[in-house]
Amino acid sequence: MSTSAPTPASAASATTLGAIPLAPIFSERVWGVHDLGPWFPAATGPAIGEAWLTATDCAVEGGALQGSNFGDLVAAHPTELACGSMGEFPLLIKVLFPKEKLSVQVHPDDARAQQLGMPNGKTECWYILSAEPGATVAVGLTHPMSNDEIRAAIENGTLEDFVDHIPVKAGDMVFVDAGTVHAIMPGVIVLETQQYSDTTYRLFDYGRPRELHIEEGLLATKQKTRAGLVTPQPMEGFTRLIGEQYFFVDRFDLAASSSASLDSVTGLQILVALGNGVTLKGAGGGEIALHPGHAIVLPVGTSGWAVAASEAAQVIRIGRP
């Protein structure tokens, strides 16, 4: 009796996982752009607002698992890739390209999401990759407002005036915990790290003909949160941009012809290069190129990896505490 050849995902379940480079998925948005250069110069066509770097629909774009579906790998390797959390990959990494204002919105926390039958809420952070002069992000309310006051501001089109606008520049990190009313303004490109959830409640959308979720959003809104700019912390060999319950984000500033070990972390790591000429080097001597703006996932328990740069570049490392 003959048997069919194993699919890439089923073949992977019988092998030891190594580094997993992922091809991004591009998501069309009404507030997006048509040119994603220099990050993704080949992505042209409709208005793209988001590049999803660690979506479970992403395909592996190199190595022995070339073409495998990332979600299938996560399901087959929950201990190494899902941190044991019900088989779900814990973090969704995106690059956002807003040409126009994003809606004023809010996300539920874990408790609220689980009341509604979802596995988790959505706490996130934004690393500012670039910012035009005068660029801002809107994070939190300028003063405490009752639900009736928020509802009235939505109805009369003034809610945007009651959200606190924070000036930002390249290299800034902004924390947005669940329950924070927020919006991203045009003039920035953002690397977003979030709990893996796509639950967004739009409170106000500047008259664009999209669905609002006012009552759901008001139930999720918190009057006071810890959202705002985060002070970076120098560490040995890297800078910790943020360390929170659901994620940490580090930055390696690599000089030309230099390298840095990744062994300070043994848990799940996600790497995103912010420049050219970066490679991931394994203990056995293998090398993988880190394409700017693409993610490489290092499973739990991997060690002996280092990042190296032939020219000055930055590498972002994201993981679970």
Residues with a catalytic annotation lie at 202
- Residue 178 CA to residue 195 CA, distance in Å, equals 10
Residue 125: other Cβ atoms inside 10 A: 24
Q: Do residues 167 and 135 touch, judged by C-beta distance below 8 A?
A: yes
> Which residues are 65's β-sheet partners?
none
Closest CA to 196 of 119, 129, 266, 271: 119
Pick from 56, 73, 80: nearest CA to 7: 73
> What letter represents residue 4's amino acid?
S
Tokens for 24, please give them. Answer: 């991004």
Angle at 17 between CA 13 and CA 21, to 5 degrees: 115
Task: Residue 302: name the closest of 272, 280, 279, 274 by CA.
Answer: 280
CB-count exposure of residue 61 (10 Å: 0-12, 13-18, 19+): middle
175 contacts: CB under 8 Å, gap ≥ 6:
125, 226, 227, 228, 229, 230, 242, 244
